[in-house]
Amino acid sequence: MAKLKAEVDRRMCLACGGCISVCPQDALSMHGGKAFVTEEKCISCEICIRICPVGAINWRSNR
Amino acid sequence: MKYDVVVVGSGPAGSVTARFAAKAGAKVLIIERRQEVGVPVLCGEGVSRKIDAWGMLEGKRWIASSMDGARIYSPDGTMVKLSAELAGNETGYVLYRDIFDQELARQAVKAGAKIMTNTDAIGLLKDKNKIRGVKTKQFDDEFEIDADVVVGADGVESKVGKLAGINTTLKPKDLETCCQYTLTNIECKDAYCDFYLGTKTAPGGYIWVFPKGKDTANVGIGILASLSKAGLAKKLLDKFISKDPRLKNGHPLRFIAGAVPVANPVETVRDNLILVGDAARHVDPITGGGLTHCLEGGKIAGETIGKAVEKQKFDKETLSAYETSWKEAFGKKLKRNYMVKEIMLGFDDKTFNMLADSLKNYKFEELSTLSLLKALVLKHPTLLMKLRPLMKVSSEL
C-alpha cells in the first residue's frame, strides 16, 4: 500500500510559509495564497504536519 | 523587460533594498506575489526604537503605540521588569505592520523603484549557470524579467535562495512556529510588552502580549517547531487566553499565523544574487525580532547594488561588500545569540524561575555582564553550572 501524503486544508491555512521553509524535499509551495503539497515530491516525513501552528496539514484521506 | 535589479518581495527588506539601489541610480523593479503590499500581516509587530535614528519612515501612522518597557514572566509567575531604555532595544513600538510596509514601499517608489503586485517569481533565468533574471507569473501570464541582480527578499520561504543553489531549508529546531490574535475588549493597564516563558506555556519560545491601545493587544505565541505537534501553538495560545483574567473576555479582530527563522544566517551573496531579511535568516534567534536587520541590511544591500551598477560588475566578489558589512553591523550579534538560544533550550522551568528570582530586584541601570552574573549566582549558586556555557560564549566573542 502506498504511503499517505500530506495535504493542506486550504480553508485553515493562514499562509505563514513555515511548512515551505522546513520541507526537506521542497515539496511545498504557495499556490493562490495557500500552501500546497506536490504529492509526487512528498516523502511522508510528517514535519509539515507537526509544525503547522493551526493544524491545517493532515494526511491525505483516501477517497 | 530589462532592469538593473529585480527584488522578489515587497516586505521591509525588499523595499529598503530597492529604495537605496534606486537612490543610487539603479533601475529597480519589485515584484510582489500578494495583491496588496503588507497584507496579510505575518508578525507580532514589535520593533526597536533604533529605527528612529535611521529616519527611513515618514509620519507616525505606522505606530500603534509606544512602549514604556517590558516585563518577562518566568514559569512560576516571577516578574522581571525592563525599563524603556533597556527594553526599547527590542520593544519600542507596536506597529501596524501593513501601514509600516506600505510606507517603506512608498519610499522605494519615491526613490524611483517600480512595483508589480500579483506577480509570483516561479523560477530564475539562467544562461548556463549565470543568473540573468526571474521567470514570473501574473495570473495566467508567464513572462521573463531580465536583471543584472536578483534580490531574494521572499521571507521565511526563501525560495529564491534555494533556486540559486543556497541551502535555505530550515531544520525544525531553527524555526519558531507562531500564531497571534489581535484581541479587543481586554484590559491593558499600561504600555508594557509582556513575555511569558515556560516549557508548558510555550516550549522553546514564549507568549507575548503587545498592547495596541487601552483595550486592544496582539496576543501571540511562538514555539520551537521541533517541539511542535499539529496545531499545538494555537491550542496553547487559546489555553493561555482562557486562563488570563485580562484577556479571557477578549474578542478577536484578527487571527494570523507566522513562521520565524531562528537559525544561523546563510550565505547571502552569489554572482548576480543577494539575499536580504528573513530570506537571509537575519533574525535574532533569541527574540525572533528581524525588522531592524531588514532596514539596516536592506540599506547596505541597496547601496552595494548601487555601486555594482555604477561599475557594471555583478560578480560575487563585488556584491560581497554587502555580506562583509552586514556581518560587521549585526552578524556577530546573530551568531552569539544563536549559541545562547541553543544553551537556553536546555533550561528547564526551574532554571528560568531561579533566573527570574535572581533578577527580579536587579537594577538594570547598572547593567554589565559581570554585575549581572554576580546577581544571578549570589542568590542561586546552582545557576553557575547552567550559566557556564553562556559565560564561555560571551568570553569568546
B233 and A58: CB-CB below 8 Å? no
* Residue B120 to residues A29, B5, B7, B226, B382, Cα–Cα distance (Å): 11, 16, 11, 30, 54
Q: CA-to-CA distance for B29 and B2, rounded, in angstroms?
A: 9
pLDDT at residue B60, rounded to an integer: 95
If one counts every other C-beta atom within 10 angstroms of the C-beta of residue B90, the result is 22
The beta-carbon neighbor of B257 closest among A14, A47, A49 is A14
Instruction: Give the gyration radius of chain A's Cα atoms.
Output: 11
pLDDT at residue B45, rounded to an integer: 94
Parallel, antiparallel or unpaired: strands B141-152 and B130-138? antiparallel
Q: What is the pLDDT of residues B343-392, one digit of tens each?
A: 999 999 999 999 999 888 877 655 566 666 677 777 888 887 777 777 77
Per the CB < 8 A criterion, the answer to whether B126 and B150 are in contact is no
The pTM for the full model equals 0.95
Spell out which chain A residues touch chain B, with contact meaning CB-CB distance below 8 angstroms: 14-18, 20-24, 26, 29-30, 33, 47, 49-55, 57-58
Please give the domain boundaries of chain B with CATH numbers for all domains: 2-63+95-169+265-339 (3.50.50.60), 172-261 (3.30.9.10), 341-396 (no CATH)
Report which of B259, B297, B265, B29 is spatially closest to residue B157, judged by C-alpha positions: B259
Nearest-neighbour CA in chain A from B199: distance (Å): 17
pLDDT at residue B43, rounded to an integer: 87
Q: How do the domains of chain A map onto residue ranges?
A: 6-54
**A-chain residues near B171 (CB < 8 A):** 22
Q: What is the pLDDT of residues B106-137, one digit of tens each?
A: 999 999 999 999 999 999 999 999 999 999 99
Read off φ and ψ for residue B275, nearest 5 degrees. Answer: -110, 140
**B-chain residues near A17 (CB < 8 A):** 42, 155-157, 259
B42 and A16: CB-CB below 8 Å? yes
pLDDT at residue A1, rounded to an integer: 60
pLDDT at residue B134, rounded to an integer: 98
A54 and B179: CB-CB below 8 Å? yes
Parallel, antiparallel or unpaired: strands B28-31 and B175-184? unpaired
Per CATH, domain A6-54 is 3.30.70.20: yes
What ipTM describes this predicted complex?
Answer: 0.96
Q: What is the pLDDT of residues B22-61, one digit of tens each?
A: 999 999 999 999 999 999 999 899 998 889 999 999 999 9
Q: CA-to-CA distance for B215 and A40, rounded, in angstroms?
A: 48
A47 and B256: CB-CB below 8 Å? no
